[in-house]
Amino acid sequence: MSLLQVENLRTVFDTRQGAVVAVDGVDLSLAAGRTLAVVGESGCGKSALALSLMRLLAHPGRVAGGRVLLEDEDLLALSPAKMRARRGSRVAMVFQEPMTSLNPVHTVGAQIMEAMRAHDRSLSKSDLRDAAISALARVRIPSPERRFDDHPHRLSGGMRQRVMIAMALACQPRLLIADEPTTALDVTVQAQILDLLRDIQAETGMGLLLITHDLGVVAETADEVAVMYAGRVVERASATDLFADPQHPYTIGLLGSIPRMDLETPRLPTIEGSVPPPFAWPPGCRFAPRCAFADAACEVAPPPLAMLAPGHEVACIYAPVDA
């Protein structure tokens, strides 16, 4: 049974120019204790997807259709009060910007205690304090008793992201959504944070939905991968299969753009062009304008995901390609 099952999710932004479709019929599934990475270039709808799962989209965004099953409960069908009760306790989220995601006027400890109290009113002040300090210790923050009384501006970006993780994990959620949790951090800190997430996952058996545009991060942490392009999933596979045998031309292009340290002069082959904004999507395959293999047949309709092998799906009419 899967922990998270997303079916045909659609998210739109109602702008003055009309509805902008940011997520267009996305299917995902994630088992407990596993890591699903959602990869794609900037603007492909990763954050819109994550916020849709949390039902935290800000106006003018809204979920226009689909189902989000968390342990068989459709989050999209819950009343606002029930959904509030799920946030933090069943599904938690870590955001991309550690510098602005904590409230500058409250101490780190107060913000963690608040997360716990929101779901358990019976905890005493000293219970809360102890629990918050051990939450800080769990994300390997040195001298957590002292950090407890610090305000966020006294901490580095990496430390703040640890605090964010401690806060997200304070109520032992079954699913953690991490939206580019390491993008704003430097490389060493990035590796530490990913290690931390992996260890905590091994300890608690939670599912991790990791959003990133960094294939290096995917290779290091993911069990499953969903590649997103212009609001749609274009390829789904286990991480091993995806790296060994990428099928969608976009995935192939992305893999080609990982910097190779072993080459004398590191070349960065990139995919020409950029992700078109939702209002400029072509009628057919959205990647067609940038695709080396595209022809007239690609411009008819967006190809659906088709199963190539068990656990490997691709949305391309020319897949499988022969190596």
Ligand X SMILES: Nc1ncnc2c1ncn2[C@@H]1O[C@H](COP(=O)(O)OP(=O)(O)OP(=O)(O)O)[C@@H](O)[C@H]1O
| Interface stretch with Mg ion, choices 41-49, 181-189, 250-258, 272-280 (CB under 5 A) | 41-49
Close Cβ partners of 311 (under 8 Å, ≥ 6 residues apart):
236, 237, 238, 241
Work out which of 34, 46, 87, 236 binds other proteins, going by CB under 8 A.
87
Query: Could you tell me the smallest distance in angstroms from the CB atom of residue 56 to Mg ion?
Result: 13
Q: What are the structure tokens assigned to 102, written together?
A: 């904590």
Query: Could you tell me the smallest distance in angstroms from the CB atom of residue 22 to Mg ion?
Result: 10
Closer Cβ to ligand X, 23 or 169, answer by number: 23
Close Cβ partners of 260 (under 8 Å, ≥ 6 residues apart):
266, 267
3-state SS of the chain: helix, strand, coil percent to 5? Answer: 35, 25, 40
| Interface stretch with ligand X, choices 40-48, 117-125, 165-173, 265-273 (CB under 6 A) | 40-48
Closer Cβ to Mg ion, 47 or 161, answer by number: 47
- Please tell me whether residue 145 adopts helix, strand or coil conformation: helix
If binding is defined by CB under 8 A, does position 84 make contact with other proteins?
A: yes
**Whole-angstrom distance, CA of residue 222 vs CA of residue 301:** 31
Identity of the amino acid at 213:
H
Close Cβ partners of 121 (under 8 Å, ≥ 6 residues apart):
none
Work out which of 43, 216, 282, 289 binds ligand X, going by CB under 6 A.
43
If binding is defined by CB under 6 A, does position 277 make contact with ligand X?
A: yes
Closer Cβ to ligand X, 16 or 125, answer by number: 16
If binding is defined by CB under 6 A, does position 13 make contact with ligand X?
A: yes
If binding is defined by CB under 6 A, does position 15 make contact with ligand X?
A: yes
Query: Could you tell me the smallest distance in angstroms from the CB atom of residue 211 to ligand X?
Result: 7
Work out which of 8, 42, 134, 143 binds ligand X, going by CB under 6 A.
42
Tallying the residues shown for the chain, one arrives at 323
Q: Look at the alpha carbons of 252, 321, 242, 70 in this order and tell me if their dihedral is positive or negative.
A: positive
Which letter does DSSP use for residue 259 in this model?
A: -
* Contacts to ligand X by CB under 6 A: 13, 15, 20, 22, 40, 42-48, 60-61, 213, 277-278
* Contacts to Mg ion by CB under 5 A: 47
